[in-house]
């Protein structure tokens, strides 16, 4: 999601596929569509009140460090107003 927000024009499915090693263009395109659909908020107001934030790391199981220090994993951050 950071790649989508960090660039003025967002990110293409091909670029996402190459960057994160998705198995196919169609998979990367599907992920982008899902991300774009959940980023839209009615009225686009800021999150207010109580906001819960959580993070996770995705990228499969590999030997070595876990969590933040893991090589080849991508951080995912979610914020939700409750």
* Residues 76, 52 within the same domain: yes
Tell me which of 3 and 28 has the higher pLDDT. Answer: 28
**Is 18 in the same domain as 51?**
no
Residue 31 sits in the same domain as residue 52: no
Residue 10 CB contacts under 8 Å (≥ 6 apart), including other chains: 4
Q: How many domains does the chain have?
A: 2
pLDDT at 80: 84
Helix, strand, coil percent values for the chain (each to nearest 5): 40, 20, 40
pTM (whole model) above 0.75? no
| Each residue's pLDDT tens digit, 31-66 | 888 888 877 767 767 888 899 998 887 776 777 777
What average pLDDT is seen over the chain? 79
60 and 76 both lie in a single domain = yes
Domain that holds residue 25: 1-40
Domain match, 3 and 35 both: yes
């Amino acid at each position: 999601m950071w790649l989508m927000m960090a660039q003025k024009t967002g990110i293409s499915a091909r670029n996402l596929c190459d960057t994160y090693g998705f198995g196919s263009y169609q998979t990367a395109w599907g992920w982008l569509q899902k991300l774009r659909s959940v980023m839209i908020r009615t009225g686009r107001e800021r999150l207010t009140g109580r906001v819960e934030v959580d993070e996770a790391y995705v990228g499969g199981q590999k030997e070595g460090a876990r969590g933040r220090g893991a090589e080849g994993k991508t951080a995912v951050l979610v914020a939700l107003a409750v």
